[in-house]
Copies of this chain bind each other. A is one copy, B any other.
Amino acid sequence: MLFLSSKDIDELIDCKDVLKSIEKSYCIHYNNKYLMPDRMHVHSDDTTLLLMPCFVESCFGTKLVTVNKENANIGVPVINGVMVLNDNKTGEPLAVLNAASLTGYRTGAVGGVGIKYTTPDNVESVGLVGAGVQGFYQLLYACTVRNIKRINIYDFNKEVLVDFKNRLLKKLPDVDIHISDSVEEMLSLSEVVICTTSSTKAVLPNDEDLLKAKHFIGIGSYKPNMREFPDSLYPLLKNVYVDTPFASSESGDLSQPLAQKLINESQILNIDKFVNDKEDIVEETSLFKSVGMALFDVVVADYLYNNAVKLGKGTEVEL
C-alpha cells in the first residue's frame, strides 16, 4: 500500500492535471458512471467527521475528514484526515493519502473549473474574501485557468493579510497582489470574486451596482446556516451553476435565497453538462457555487496514486 503525505502530494501535483481530473469527474457525473452514497456526518463536541465514499469504474475510495474550528486557537489545522483508495475488483487498499492536502488542491481546482466555464477568457483580475488555506488554493487555480494580472485580497481579520500576500507572492511572483482596505474596494477592482469564508451572513456588500457584471465563485458555505452572498446578487443572475445536485439543500447561499424566493429551483443548473459538452457559460453576472463531493476526491486521488506509482514517489508500506 502506498502512503502519500502532504509533502509527497505537493511534490507530485500538477495543477493542470488536477483541473483535468475535476473535468473528468464532471463527465463521470454527467454520464452517471459512479456510485456515491450520501456522505455521512458525525458530530461530537467541536469535531465533525465526514465519511465520503465513492465508486468509479477504475477504483473506489473514501475520504474521512474532520473539521474542528477550535483547532485554530491551538495552532492545529482545522481540517484533518485521510483518503483511502481501493482496488475496484478486490477491495484491497491501494493508497492512503493526506486528505487535508487532497481537499485543498481539489477544491481549488473545482473553483478553477468554475472560473474556466463561467467567466470570460480575458478576465485579468480576481478578488478574494477569506485569506485562509482554501483561499490560497483558489487563487493558485484561478491563475492557472486565466491570465490573471492582479489579485485583490481581503479578510475581516486584517492581521493575516501580509503573511498571506507574502506566501502567495512566492507561488505567483508575476502577479500584482494588492491588499484591499475594504471589501467594497476589493469588489470594485475585481472581475472575478471568490469567497472562502465560514461566515453565516453575507460577506459582500448588498449593493447591486457593485455586484453587477462580476463573476462570483462561492466556496465557503457548505451548511444551510452559512452564507457569503447578499440578497441583491440573486436578481442579477439568470442561473446559478453548482457542482453537485445537493448543493441547493446543503448551502445557505442557495437554500436561503430559494426560501426567500430570490431564485427558484429551475434556475439552479449543474455545471457537469457544460463541462461534458465543453460549452462556455456566457452571462453578464454569474455565480458558481461549490459544496464538493466524494467523486472529486476519488478521481483526484486516483490520479495522484497513478502518478506516484509512475514516478516512484510516496512511501510503500506493507499492510
> Interface of A with B (CB < 8 Å)?
3, 5-7, 35, 37, 40, 42, 44-45, 47, 49, 51, 53, 55, 60, 62, 64, 66-68, 71, 74, 76, 80-82, 84, 86, 88-93, 96, 98, 315, 317-319
Taking the nearest CB of chain B, how far is it from the CB of A218, in angstroms?
Answer: 25
Q: Given that A5-B318, A96-B82, A319-B82 are known contacts, is A40 also in contact with B37, CB under 8 Å in the complex?
A: yes
Copies in the complex: 2
- For residue A276, give the distance in angstroms from its CB to the closest CB of chain B: 23
Please list 30 pairs of residues, one from A and one from B, whose beta carbons are closer than 8 Å in the complex, sorted by A's number: A3-B3, A6-B319, A7-B318, A35-B42, A35-B44, A37-B40, A37-B42, A40-B40, A40-B51, A42-B55, A44-B88, A47-B91, A49-B53, A49-B55, A49-B91, A51-B51, A51-B53, A51-B62, A64-B64, A66-B86, A66-B90, A71-B91, A74-B90, A80-B86, A80-B90, A81-B91, A82-B96, A82-B319, A84-B84, A96-B96
In the bound complex, how far is the Cα of B84 from the Cα of A50, in angstroms? 13
**Assembled-state Cα–Cα distance A184/B267 (Å):** 69
